[in-house]
Amino acid sequence: MKLNDLRDNEGARKGRMRVGRGIGSGKGKTAARGQKGQKSRSGVAINGFAGGQMPLHMRLPKRGFNNPFGKDYAEVNIGMVQKFIDAKKLDGKKVVDHDALKAAGLARGGKDGVRLLGKGELKAKVSFKVAGASKGAIEAVEKAGGSVEVIAAKQPWTKDGAKASKGAKADKAAAE
């Protein structure tokens, strides 16, 4: 016996039903589709159609709102920062920014940066450079002797990241 001689047992694999091949085949004439109607034709697309009644997916209420301009911040609590500093996973002597928090495994996602929140207690003197921070977080960091620098996220519609004001547009027009 060779590999190219291997075969399934006779009848182990049943062939597909060939419909519309004569009345004698048992699946001829209408090809098991019955008579007339949309479903007997090709190209049927009636998923979700409820016979003239309003379909279920149109009866159910829509919920919520997706803000296309909403910011995606990775939220980090100061208590967790202290925990990671104590565990030597985060260096508190260097400036703690998005990259440092990501490397430590504290900030997941957050394509618009990190937002510092005030839950927990911070004992270490840490310097933060983040995209946003709550009042409580800033107070707790400054109480521990650290500092928080809030950096503005770059906006895609301007060159320098700040919104162009009317005065800046007038200055630009005057320069040209």
Q: 55-69, 117-131, 148-162: which has the minimum mean pLDDT?
A: 148-162
For residue 155, tell me if it sits in a domain: no
Percent of residues, the chain, with pLDDT higher than 90: 40
For residue 59, tell me if it sits in a domain: no
- Cα separation of 105 and 134, whole Å? 21
pLDDT, average across residues 18-32:
91
The tally of domains found in the chain comes to 1
Q: Write the CATH number for 135.
A: 3.100.10.10
Residue 3 C-beta-side C-alpha neighbours within 13 Å: 0
For residue 135, tell me if it sits in a domain: yes
For residue 2, tell me if it sits in a domain: no
Its pTM stands at 0.52
Structural domain for 124, as ranges: 74-150
pLDDT, average across residues 106-116:
88
141 pLDDT above the threshold of 60: yes
Q: Where are the extended beta strands (E) located within 42-109?
A: 74-77, 95-96
For residue 120, tell me if it sits in a domain: yes
49 — alpha (psi -120 to 50), left (phi > 0) or beta? beta
For residue 126, tell me if it sits in a domain: yes
For residue 122, tell me if it sits in a domain: yes
126 — alpha (psi -120 to 50), left (phi > 0) or beta? beta
Determine which helix (DSSP H) or strand (DSSP E) holds 156, and give its type and residue range.
Answer: none
* Mean of all residue pLDDT scores within the chain: 85
For residue 144, tell me if it sits in a domain: yes
- Predicted confidence band at 169 (pLDDT cuts at 50, 70, 90)? low
